[in-house]
């Protein structure tokens, strides 16, 4: 009976890489009130481009022992012979030389020596075939376990690829919002630049106004009332010279203070005018700031969603890497076993050729014995024929085979 087997050639990928996987990158969002930074750890598990390990049972036939009684299909025998021929083609000259030397050696052996040697080779062949079958059974078990690990790993990697799309969507939305925030900030900065220029002008006017207010030390109405009262006294009342001098000095001081009050009032009016003109600028800046705060909250929401997804990605990837590591360890474990297959196949193929030589020699010994037996029967039959003795069927067959008796074809 034959069994088909193939050299176990699985090789795990050295890295568990995810194809086209979108990983987080460290970014700072533009919002003024809320800054978000991507913190998900990046690892390149990435995209799986390496060839997946595939186990396979052998295609090279291994003949079982002669003790087995199940019939062997002709095509299986042909496949087995073809496989062995391919193996022996690896170093045909050395193999042929070895077989020729063995033929010469066997030609000088006795029948018992050839028989003993053929039995030894049968035992070797049976042992190697059993060993090879045991290896393939072991590899089949490993393949089953390895397929389970690979399936779990691939399922996890598929989940990673799928949920990474969600993270990418959240990141795209966040980046889009951040771009809008940046544009609004630029517009607000421009508005704030304009208002700052006006504010500087107002501050300068306020400084001058405050200086005049320090001189005036009162309102225009009060100062004018005092000025008018003192002027009336100065012009109408009968006062002495000293009092007149005091009134004149007071009138001079009030005149300066009234002028200062007029200047302060004019400056205050300009300040109010500028402020009213620019009141819309302040309102627009406030509106822009409010919109920026609102968009910042929206950006932060997308950022948090993205971070949560990437955390999940990291968890799934770690689990997938665990299965991949176990798969790699399993392949490393069976590598010494797979290394035994080709040498065993070669030994089996060569042993068969050597056994054929011994079996051919055993046939030669059998043919020689058969020939001697036929000659002995033939001689005895000839004597019986001469003496008109009774011939057995065996005697008759020997005489016919040797041509002593011919039948008339007519």
Mean pLDDT of 146-154: 88
- pLDDT bucket at 15, cuts 50 / 70 / 90: very low
The CA distances from residue 76 to 136, 174, 191, 274, in Å, are 18, 66, 90, 105
- pLDDT bucket at 189, cuts 50 / 70 / 90: confident
- The values of phi and psi at residue 15, to 5°, are -140, 145
* CA-angle at 226, arms to 221 and 230, nearest 5°: 150
Q: What dihedral do alpha carbons 383, 387, 393, 397 form, nearest 10°?
A: 50
Please report the pLDDT score of residue 407 as a whole number. Answer: 64
Please report the pLDDT score of residue 304 as a whole number. Answer: 94
Give the tens place of pLDDT for each residue, 45-61: 333 333 333 333 333 33
- pLDDT bucket at 74, cuts 50 / 70 / 90: low
- pLDDT bucket at 242, cuts 50 / 70 / 90: confident
Token reading at 318? 């770690």
Give the tens place of pLDDT for each residue, 192-226: 777 777 777 788 888 888 887 787 777 777 877 87
- Rounded distance between C-alpha atoms, residue 32 and residue 188, angstroms: 12
Give the tens place of pLDDT for each residue, 106-138: 889 898 998 999 999 999 999 999 998 998 888
- The number of residues making up the chain comes to 410
- pLDDT bucket at 79, cuts 50 / 70 / 90: low
Higher pLDDT, 274 or 76: 274
Please report the pLDDT score of residue 63 as a whole number. Answer: 32
- Rounded distance between C-alpha atoms, residue 127 and residue 69, angstroms: 18
- pLDDT bucket at 402, cuts 50 / 70 / 90: confident
Task: Check pLDDT > 50 for residue 26.
Answer: no
Task: Check pLDDT > 90 for residue 359.
Answer: yes
**182 CB neighbour count, 10 Å cutoff:** 14
Among 9-18, 34-43, 113-122, 380-389, whose mean pLDDT is lowest?
34-43
- Rounded distance between C-alpha atoms, residue 14 and residue 19, angstroms: 15
Give the tens place of pLDDT for each residue, 229-239: 777 777 777 77
Give the tens place of pLDDT for each residue, 300-342: 999 999 999 999 999 999 999 998 998 888 888 788 888 888 8
Please report the pLDDT score of residue 82 as a whole number. Answer: 67
Higher pLDDT, 297 or 69: 297
Residue with tokens 């001081």, as numbered in its chain? 253
- pLDDT bucket at 76, cuts 50 / 70 / 90: low
Give the tens place of pLDDT for each residue, 276-310: 777 666 677 888 899 999 999 999 999 999 999 99
Name the average pLDDT for the chain: 75
- Rounded distance between C-alpha atoms, residue 359 and residue 122, angstroms: 11
Residue with tokens 């990437």, as numbered in its chain? 310
Please report the pLDDT score of residue 43 as a whole number. Answer: 31
Higher pLDDT, 381 or 152: 152
Token reading at 323? 């299965």
């Amino acid at each position: 009976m034959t069994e088909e087997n193939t050299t176990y050639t699985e090789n795990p990928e050295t890295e568990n890489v995810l194809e086209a996987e979108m990983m987080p990158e460290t970014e700072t969002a533009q919002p003024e009130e809320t800054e978000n930074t991507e913190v998900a750890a990046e690892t390149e598990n990435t995209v799986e481009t390496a060839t997946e390990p595939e186990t396979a049972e052998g295609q090279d036939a291994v003949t079982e022992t002669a003790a087995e009684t199940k019939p062997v299909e002709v095509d299986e025998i042909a496949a087995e012979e073809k496989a062995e021929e391919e193996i022996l083609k690896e170093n045909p000259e050395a193999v042929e030389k070895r077989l020729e030397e063995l033929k010469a050696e066997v030609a000088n052996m006795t029948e018992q020596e050839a028989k003993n040697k053929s039995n030894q080779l049968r035992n070797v062949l049976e042992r190697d075939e059993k060993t090879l079958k045991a290896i393939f059974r072991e590899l089949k078990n490993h393949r089953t376990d390895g397929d389970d690990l690979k399936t779990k790993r691939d399922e996890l990697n598929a989940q990673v690829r799928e949920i990474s799309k969600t993270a990418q969507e959240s990141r795209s939305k966040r980046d889009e919002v951040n771009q809008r925030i940046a544009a609004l900030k630029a517009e607000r900065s421009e508005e704030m630049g304009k208002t700052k220029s006006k504010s500087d002008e107002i501050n300068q006017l306020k400084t001058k106004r405050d200086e005049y207010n320090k001189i005036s030390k009162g309102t225009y109405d009060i100062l004018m009332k005092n000025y008018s009262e003192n002027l009336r006294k100065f012009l109408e009342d009968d006062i002495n010279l000293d009092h007149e001098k005091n009134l004149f000095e007071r009138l001079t001081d009030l005149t300066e203070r009234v002028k200062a009050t007029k200047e302060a009032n004019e400056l205050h009016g300009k300040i109010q005018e500028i402020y009213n003109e620019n009141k819309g600028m302040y309102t627009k800046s406030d509106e822009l700031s409010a919109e920026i705060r609102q968009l910042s909250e929206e950006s932060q929401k997308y950022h948090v969603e993205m971070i949560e997804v990437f955390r999940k990605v990291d968890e799934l990837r770690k689990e997938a890497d665990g299965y991949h590591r176990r798969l790699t360890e399993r392949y490393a474990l069976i590598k010494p076993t797979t290394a035994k297959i080709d040498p065993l196949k070669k030994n089996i193929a060569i042993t068969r050729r050597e056994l054929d030589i011994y079996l051919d020699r055993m046939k030669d010994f059998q043919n020689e014995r058969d020939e001697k037996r036929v000659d002995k029967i033939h001689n005895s039959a000839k004597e019986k024929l001469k003496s008109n003795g009774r011939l057995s069927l065996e005697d008759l067959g020997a005489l016919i085979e040797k041509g002593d008796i011919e039948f008339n074809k007519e």
